[in-house]
């Protein structure tokens, strides 16, 4: 994997907010790394309830995992609420009413402070999978198959209102925007990755502001977004890859080219198309799929997490057992649901975090 000038720029943008988890995500599979084996869970002997909330992107994994845990004999109740990452952390750290939070972005410092204030001082992060935020249009839309990042900025900030303003050959129809709720990790991440984290878009506030300026249809429910895009050839939206996969008969995933760089004053500079190949690693349109998401070449790939706290694991053995089960089966279920598994290294780090919190040794 080569890092060109442009990829470095992108890398920098991502690293600014997602330092450690992303860095490990992009690490290549060592090949020889042995997967850690956690102590075997016997779901039959686990009792008690588990409350989960958070990201709607991670929700399908958590729900499938819960159903599987139940199939295997767990007799307690797992409730999963789809609230968006932010509101989920509100419940997890503010109210303290959930045991696990699904997150499609890393926890923020302010959220950790809240957690500490209610006695959850040792918040644990488990990386469970990788997602590629997929920008989609209706299959009936026969003019858009690829977009430049600079065009995405124009479209999603409302700078352009009709398709022909992006490309004069495209129809003069209004662009209908569908975007996940502002509480969702998808929204936050999209803002960071597409608008960038420099210059005028340095602050999250500014990014949120810009993304809402176009008055898009906003829904915490990704299904509503799918439904909306399915309804018109002039609609465009974005959500987790799994939702695209479930509807790939009717949706087209857009290939994205990262043609944005910055000058010294942190102003956005658009690289003209004829210069794309001039650099050592050419800019090209990249479609989200397993390969590009795992390698990180697709600019909108991002990590998926579940969060819990050491004190919860100690207090509620069922939560410890569930997370153990989650990590043990993560690869299989994550693939089944339509996301991409993480490398053995990263999963081992998550497993090690579990082992440290519970205070036992790995099985092998």
Partner 1 sequence: MASPSALFAVVFLGLVLGLNGALSIPMVAAKRGYSPKLGMSAGFAAGFAGTWLSALLIWQIASDGAGVIGSVVGGWSALAALRRLIPPREPQQNTLPEGSALHRNVQARHLRGGLTRVLFIASVVVALVSLATLVWTIVNKTVGYTATQYAIEPEDLTINGEPTGRGIDALSKNELALVLADGVRVARLRVFVLEEVVNANQDEFADLSPKPIKDVLRGQHYPAGLAELPFNKLDANQVASVLEANLSEAELKTMVMDEIVQPQLVKGWSLWESLTHKEDIEKTMHEDFPKARLEWHSWLNWRFVTSALDPRSPDATGLRPALIGSLMIIVFTILVAFPIGVGAAIYLEEYASDNAFNRLIQTNINNLAGVPSIIYGMLGLAIFVRSLESLTSGNAFGTSTANGRTIASAAFTLALLILPLIIINAQEAIRAVPSSLRQASYGLGATQWQTIWNHVLPYSLPGILTGTILAISRAIGETAPLILVGAATYLTQDPKGLFSNFTALPMIIYRWTTYPQAEFRNAAAAAIVVLLVLLLSLNSIAIVLRNRFSRRLS
Partner 2 sequence: MDILIQQKSSLLAGVRSEELVLRKRFRRGEAFIQGFLFFCGFVTIFTTLAIVFVLGRESLLLITSEYVDGSGNVHTVDVLDFVNTTHWQPHRYELGVAPLVAATTLSSAIAMLVAIPLGLGSAVYLSEYASPRVRNTVKPILEVLAGVPTVVYGFFALQFMTPLLKDMFGMHTVETFNLASAGVVMGIMILPLVASMSEDALSAVPRALREASYGLGSTKLETTIRVVLPASVSGIIAAFIIAISRAIGETMIMAIAAGARPNLTANPFESAWTMTGYIASISGGDLGYDTLDYNSIFVVGLLLFAMTFILNVFSRAVVAHFREVYD
| Cβ neighbours of 208 (radius 10 Å) | 15
Q: Using alpha carbons only, what angle is made at residue 172 by residues 169 and 174, rounded to the nearest 5 degrees?
A: 130
Binding positions for partner 2, 44-73, rule CB under 8 A = 53, 56
**Among candidate residues 350, 339, 360, 242, the one with its CA nearest the CA of residue 290:** 339
Binding positions for partner 1, 31-60, rule CB under 8 A = 42-47, 49, 51, 59-60
Which is closer to partner 2, CB of 160 or CB of 206?
206
Instruction: Write the interaction track for partner 1 spanning residues 98-127; mark x where CB under 8 A is met and - where it is not.
Output: xx----------------------------
The DSSP element (H or E) to which 219 belongs, if any, is strand 217-219
| Cβ neighbours of 328 (radius 10 Å) | 20
**173 sits near partner 2 (criterion: CB under 8 A):** yes
**Strand duo 268-270 + 260-262: pairing:** antiparallel
**259 sits near partner 2 (criterion: CB under 8 A):** no
Which of helix, strand or coil describes residue 157? Answer: coil
Strand ranges (DSSP E) for the chain? 50-54, 78-80, 100-103, 123-132, 134-138, 146-148, 176-180, 217-219, 235-239, 251-253, 255-257, 260-262, 268-270, 301-309
**101 sits near partner 2 (criterion: CB under 8 A):** no
Report the residue from 73, 119, 171, 282 that binds partner 1 according to the rule CB under 8 A: 73
Instruction: Write the interaction track for partner 1 spanning residues 212-251; mark x where CB under 8 A is met and - where it is not.
Output: ---------x-xx-xx--x------------x--xx----
Q: Quick one: what does residue 183 bind among partner 1, partner 2, none, with the CB cut-off 5 to 8 Å set by partner type? A: partner 2
Which of helix, strand or coil describes residue 79? Answer: strand
Minimum distance between the CB of residue 177 and partner 2, rounded to whole angstroms?
8
Minimum distance between the CB of residue 238 and partner 2, rounded to whole angstroms?
15
| Contacts with partner 2, residue ranges (CB under 8 A) | 53, 56, 81-84, 86-87, 90-91, 94-95, 173, 176, 181-184, 203-206, 208-209, 212-213, 215-221, 224, 227-228, 230-234
């Amino acid at each position: 994997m080569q890092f060109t000038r442009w990829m470095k720029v992108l890398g920098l943008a991502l690293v600014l907010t997602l330092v450690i988890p992303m860095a490990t995500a992009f690490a290549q599979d060592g090949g020889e790394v042995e997967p850690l084996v956690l102590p075997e869970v016997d779901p039959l002997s686990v009792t008690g309830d588990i409350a989960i909330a958070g990201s709607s992107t991670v929700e399908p994994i958590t729900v499938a995992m819960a159903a599987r845990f139940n199939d295997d004999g767990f007799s307690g109740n797992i409730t999963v609420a789809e609230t968006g990452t932010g509101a989920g952390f509100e419940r997890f750290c503010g109210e303290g009413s959930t045991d696990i939070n699904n997150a499609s972005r890393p926890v923020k410092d302010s959220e950790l402070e809240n957690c500490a204030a209610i006695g959850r001082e040792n918040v644990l992060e488990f990386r469970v999978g990788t997602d590629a935020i997929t920008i989609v249009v209706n299959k009936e839309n026969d003019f858009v198959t690829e977009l430049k990042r600079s065009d995405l900025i124009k479209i999603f900030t409302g700078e352009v209102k009709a398709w022909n303003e992006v490309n004069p050959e495209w129809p003069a129809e209004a662009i209908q925007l569908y975007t996940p709720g502002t509480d969702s990790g998808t929204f936050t991440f999209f803002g960071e990755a597409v608008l960038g984290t420099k210059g005028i878009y340095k602050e999250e506030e500014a990014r949120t502001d810009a993304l809402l300026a176009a008055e898009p249809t906003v829904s915490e429910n990704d299904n509503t977004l799918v439904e909306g895009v399915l309804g018109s050839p002039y609609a465009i939206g974005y959500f987790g890859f799994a939702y695209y996969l479930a509807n790939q008969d009717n949706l087209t995933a857009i290939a994205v080219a990262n043609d944005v760089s910055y000058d010294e004053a942190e102003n956005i500079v658009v690289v003209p198309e004829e210069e794309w190949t001039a650099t050592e690693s050419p800019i090209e349109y990249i479609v989200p799929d397993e390969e590009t998401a795992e390698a990180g070449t697709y600019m909108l790939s991002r990590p998926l997490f579940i969060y819990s706290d050491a004190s919860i694991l100690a207090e509620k053995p069922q939560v410890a057992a569930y997370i153990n089960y989650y990590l043990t089966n993560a690869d299989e279920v994550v693939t089944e649901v339509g996301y991409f598994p993480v490398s053995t290294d990263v999963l081992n780090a998550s497993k090690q975090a579990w082992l440290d919190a519970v205070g036992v040794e790995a099985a092998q």
